[in-house]
Each structure stands twice: as structure tokens, then as C-alpha cells.
Amino acid sequence: MGKTSPAIPTTRIISVSIPVSDQERAKQYYCDVLGFDLLVDKELWQGARLIEVGLPGSDVVLLLLDERGEIPVGVRMGVVDSDAAHRVIKQHDSSVRDEVLRLEFAPPMFEFTDPDGNVLVYIEDPAAGVPES
């Protein structure tokens, strides 16, 4: 089966988030039991704690997110141009946010769902460049 050119060239999987009921307990489990390194543990805003853990040599990190929190639980992927990707996704998917989110502490991004309702997030990743065909 041949591969066709995608409408949006996704550059990489950045992170996969896992919903947890107790972030501190999850952090201890992933780091102390499973051997992950703690990469980030900070409160982005009141009630939005971001915990990132990763394995040496892996480019993909796990986000341990409060299942009741404001940060969307899903797969985060890189894209070179978030505005262009948003336009394409909006043509095919009514679940996409109305606009690209621009925060002071993060690159431009937007959230949408796949046909089965799984949350996906595109994050602008210009350093990755366009992947080779």
C-alpha cells in the first residue's frame, strides 16, 4: 500500500498524556518504580499542574495530568505551521477549536479530536522542519 502525501505534515509525536487521579502519587510511581526521569513539574496557572516524565534516549514524553484538570489529556504532535494546520483540520473536523491558542509560555497550539473522539493537539514545531518524503 503506497503512502500518499498528507494534507498536514506532522513532524513528530511530542508527548502522550495520561489522566491520573493523584499527580504526586503518579509522579512517584513513574519515577521511583518505572525509572522515568522527572523533566518538568510546575504549575502553569492556578490548578493546572504540568508533570512531564521521560526515559533516557526517548524523544516522546509522558504528561501526568489531573483527570479533572484544565489541560487536555491527549496526544501532542508537532506541526511546522499551526495556522495552516488549523485551516486544514477545520475543513475536515468540526471539533477543532475556533482559533489557535497563543500562550506566553508555550508555542502556538490547538486541540481537536479524531473520528473516535480521541483528543489530539497540534503544537507549532518549526525547529523540526518539514519531514523528508
Report the pLDDT value the prediction gives residue 91, as an integer from 0 to 100: 84
Q: How far apart are CA 27 and CA 51, in angstroms?
A: 7
Residue 33 confidence (pLDDT): 95
Distance from C-alpha of 14 to C-alpha of 63, rounded to nearest angstrom: 10
pLDDT of residue 41: 97
Alpha-carbon dihedral angle through residues 106, 107, 111, 112, given to the nearest 10 degrees:
-160
Strand, coil or helix: 104: coil
The pLDDT assigned to 130 comes to 47
pLDDT tens sequence for the chain (133 residues) = 555 556 778 899 999 999 999 999 999 999 999 999 999 999 988 888 999 999 999 999 999 999 888 888 899 999 998 888 888 888 877 678 777 878 777 889 888 988 888 889 999 986 665 444 4
What's phi and psi for 113, nearest 5 deg? -125, 155
